[in-house]
Amino acid sequence: MKTVTGRLAGKVIIITGASRGLGRHCALGYGAEGAHVVVAARSKAPAENLPGSIGETAKLIKDAGGSALAVACDVADRSSIAAMAETVLRQFGRIDVLMTNAIFYAPGTISTMDPDDWDKQFQVNVHGVYHAIRAVLPTMLDQGSGNIITISSVAAKKPSHYGATKSAVESMTNAFAAEQVENNIAVNSMRPVAGIETPGWLNARPAKARQARAHRLSPPDSYVEAAVLLAMQDAGTSTGQHFTDADILKRFGEQGSFERFAEMNAPVWSEESRGLEKSGG
């Protein structure tokens, strides 16, 4: 039998929205650290203008020597989420970490967007997070441990329709954390300090906007390392917190890790993280 090593060795981790973008990057990072990664998303095949599928992500993990299970899951459908959780339990018998990464980003402003998109955005970004947490919670309660990572955004602090969903996610994170701390289930949110180039980020912006912000984009490395560190926590070390990747590196990373990642990221990464630190954010 192969000996599994790594900081997350043997942990069963579900990531929704893991067919591409930051979800895929985190899935690969978790796989490299020895976790059994459940790659959950709707995308059995690449979508129009958006490359990637659950099968591709799972294959990348396996090709690198990791363990992965691709499971089709539509987070806008409560029954699909429940079926995914049941599949994971049949395969692995436990669920240690849930990362609710799947999102829908609608075009337009809150005053001009299609009302159907408003509904869909909340269905995916808020209700999907809630139902995913509820689907894994009984298992985590039976285990006496668990770690839930919700994904927020800088938009949570800004006026926008997308920000409204992320504000709701942060509030939901607080509520679950307060209720589950006594059950040793950690519930925290994380977000990037600054923009990271992903297919979704590129697809959501016109060419001129992409060019104007290109110098502010960072590679995904610091975000993935932060996701690994946060997945290692329990309710005794961190719960009910809203972190940036820089926050996590400062709090849980090895000495010098923040400085190392600051060198590879765009200048705005370290500048904004210092600004957040000074303001208490």
Spell out the residues 6+ positions from residue 17 whose beta carbon is closer than 8 angstroms to its own. Answer: 23, 40, 41, 75, 101, 102, 103
Percent pLDDT > 90 in the chain is 67
Output the pTM of the full model.
0.89
In a domain, 2, yes or no: no
pLDDT band at 194 (very low <50, low <70, confident <90, very high): confident
Predicted local distance difference test score (pLDDT) of residue 210: 45
CB atoms within 10 A of CB 166: 24
- In this structure, what is the dihedral angle of CA atoms 109, 214, 61, 255, given to the nearest 10 degrees? -110
pLDDT tens digits along 255-265: 888 888 888 88
The residue ranking higher by pLDDT, 6 or 159, is: 6
In a domain, 3, yes or no: no
Core vs surface per residue 253-263: b (16+ CB within 10 A) or e: beeebbeebbe
In a domain, 6, yes or no: no
In a domain, 188, yes or no: yes
Q: How many domains does the chain have?
A: 1
Q: Could you list the residue range(s) of the whole structural domain that residue 70 is in?
A: 12-279
The span from the CA of 110 to the CA of 80, in Å, is 29
Average pLDDT score over the chain: 87
CATH number of the domain within which 72 lies: 3.40.50.720
In a domain, 152, yes or no: yes
pLDDT tens digits along 14-33: 999 999 999 999 999 999 99
pLDDT tens digits along 151-161: 998 877 888 89
Report, as an integer, the average pLDDT of 80-99.
98
Report, as an integer, the average pLDDT of 160-168.
90
Report, as an integer, the average pLDDT of 186-208.
70
Pull the structure tokens for residue 63.
Answer: 């090709």
| 153-160: Cβ within 8 A, 24+ apart | 153/191, 154/191, 154/192, 156/191, 159/110, 160/109, 160/110
In a domain, 63, yes or no: yes
Q: What is the Cα 157 distance to its own chain's centre?
A: 18
Predicted local distance difference test score (pLDDT) of residue 271: 73
The span from the CA of 122 to the CA of 109, in Å, is 15
In a domain, 213, yes or no: yes
Cβ contact 131:81 at 8 Å:
yes
3-state secondary structure (DSSP) of residue 148? strand
Closest CA to 57 of 46, 122, 242: 46
pLDDT tens digits along 225-275: 999 999 999 999 999 999 999 999 999 999 888 888 888 887 777 776 665
The span from the CA of 121 to the CA of 105, in Å, is 7
Predicted local distance difference test score (pLDDT) of residue 4: 61
130 is catalytic: no
Closest CA to 129 of 139, 137, 138, 141: 137
In a domain, 4, yes or no: no
Q: Which of these is catalytic: 105, 130, 162, 223?
A: 162
Core vs surface per residue 113-146: b (16+ CB within 10 A) or e: eeeeebeebbbbbbbbbbbbbebbbebbeeeeeb
Pull the structure tokens for residue 106.
Answer: 């609608």
Predicted local distance difference test score (pLDDT) of residue 196: 74
